[in-house]
Amino acid sequence: DVKVTQSSRYLVKRTGEKVFLECVQDMDHENMFWYRQDPGLGLRLIYFSYDVKMKEKGDIPEGYSVSREKKERFSLILESASTNQTSMYLCASSSAGGGLAKYYEQYFGPGTRLTVT
């Protein structure tokens, strides 16, 4: 059973703090993704990674960075948290092979609700 875990379910941080969100998957997936989910805006891709130490910007990378030092772990970093980064953050992973269905099926973690005050 695929499992994607995120380090915290709820997090409250102050403006200007450096914030680390951790994601771990146990299915040996090559691809990992970070999204934020906001009412009325849906899921928006922040960054994704196709391999260890590889990263690519998504649609809204400003204010975020990522790190992937190990295949199973993908970290999202908010260098200096701001109130407009208050959101639900979702991590996902997917396989790089196995046909179209496997390629596109993303497995999501439970999310981290981050509040920046």
Residues near other proteins, by CB under 8 A: 4, 31, 33, 40-45, 48, 50, 56, 58, 90, 92, 94, 96, 100-101, 103-111
Q: What is the smallest separation between the CB atom of 80 and other proteins, expressed in angstroms? A: 27
Q: What is the smallest separation between the CB atom of 42 and other proteins, expressed in angstroms? A: 4
Going from the C-alpha of 112 to that of each of 14, 53, 63, 103, 104, the distances in angstroms are 16, 23, 17, 25, 23
Q: Quick one: 35 or 75, whose CB is closer to other proteins?
A: 35
Query: What whole-number distance in Å separates Cα of residue 38 and Cα of residue 15?
Result: 19
